[in-house]
Amino acid sequence: MSYKTILVHSDAGRHWPARLDLAVQLARQHDAHLLGLHAPRSAALSGVMLSGLDPALAESLARTRAEQAVQAQATFNKAVSAAGINNAEWRLGDEDAVTTVLTNARYVDLLVLGQRDPAETDGFDSDFAEQVVLAAGRPVLMLPYAGRFGAIGKQALVAWDASREAARAISDALPLLRQADNVKLITINPRGGRHGDLPGADIGLYLARHGVRTEVVSDCCDNIDIGNELLSRAADFGSDLIVMGAYGHARLKELVMGGATRTILDSMTVPVLLSH
């Protein structure tokens, strides 16, 4: 398995260039087709909202949206050209951001999104990332809004709880894990029979058969939640990538995320690959 099509989400946010830099790097590493998809997350700039506004204000907002799209495309074209990537394309969404991204997600191998920046609160869809993670059917590589990230995946931390979601995440992350210098697989408070006699041993063997050398670490923590324990251990290990299953469900307007998933999405300190 390899990533042959990578989608990077462009919005009106200030973290778009950093997200693009990482997507370009991954596209070069995996010789992948790079799709830049512009879909602003701001509800105030959606077509539906514009239709109900004063004509002059609607025209001003529409002009702003068009200018942002042009700027984003110019940034994309410049980055792609500088990296020597010939297999790339640009798309402009004409629906709300979640619908646009999910529609295109069906035809790619990996999505690159950005964590919501609390400073960017002007009309931004606060659960955009969560909705995409739960409904895309594809792995999502999420970048923190704080910090700069060059090469990722050299020091990977894999969270394992023997669940369907965790198994999916590991399978989805194989193209990255095969290129890692070091992979640590962590089980936290392993309980029950689904782990087998030795928690982490079977999944470690699975990874070894795929050419991924893995060190299995088992943690017991009672005074800290699992999400924060993962972040703590990522810091201890010098990890530059976390791989984990995403837990939760979204139906109608109800969005419920699992505790560890919510903690990671809110407080991530390194890029995280999530699969649901």
Alpha-carbon torsion (70, 90, 126, 49), positive or negative? positive
Taking the C-alpha atoms of residue 201 and residue 194, their distance in angstroms, rounded to an integer, is 12
Residues 6+ apart with CB under 8 A from 196: 202
User: Between the CA of residue 30 and those of 112, 205, 217, 226, 240, what are the distances in Å?
Assistant: 14, 25, 29, 32, 18
Per-residue pLDDT tens digits for 176-218: 999 999 999 999 988 766 777 788 899 999 999 999 999 999 9
Of the candidates 25, 91, 77, 33, which has an alpha carbon nearest to the alpha carbon of residue 240?
A: 25
CB atoms within 10 A of CB 234: 24
Whole-number mean pLDDT of the chain? 89
Q: Show pLDDT as tens, one digit a residue, over the chain (276 residues).
A: 789 999 999 997 899 999 999 999 999 999 999 999 999 865 445 555 556 667 777 677 778 888 989 999 999 999 999 999 999 999 998 778 999 999 999 999 999 999 988 888 654 567 899 999 999 999 999 999 988 887 899 999 999 999 999 999 999 999 999 999 999 999 998 876 677 778 889 999 999 999 999 999 998 887 788 999 999 999 999 999 999 999 887 765 567 777 899 999 999 999 999 999
Query: What distance in Å separates the CA atoms of residue 46 and residue 99, rounded to the nearest whole number?
Result: 12
Six-digit token string for 134: 């739960």
The helix or strand, by DSSP H or E, that contains position 55, with its residue range, turns out to be helix 55-83
Q: What is the pLDDT of residue 43?
A: 46
Please check whether residue 33 is in contact with residue 5, taking contact to mean a CB–CB distance below 8 angstroms: yes
Show the domains of the chain with their CATH numbers.
5-143 (3.40.50.620), 155-275 (3.40.50.620)
What is the C-alpha to C-alpha distance for residues 91 and 80, in angstroms, rounded to an integer? 14
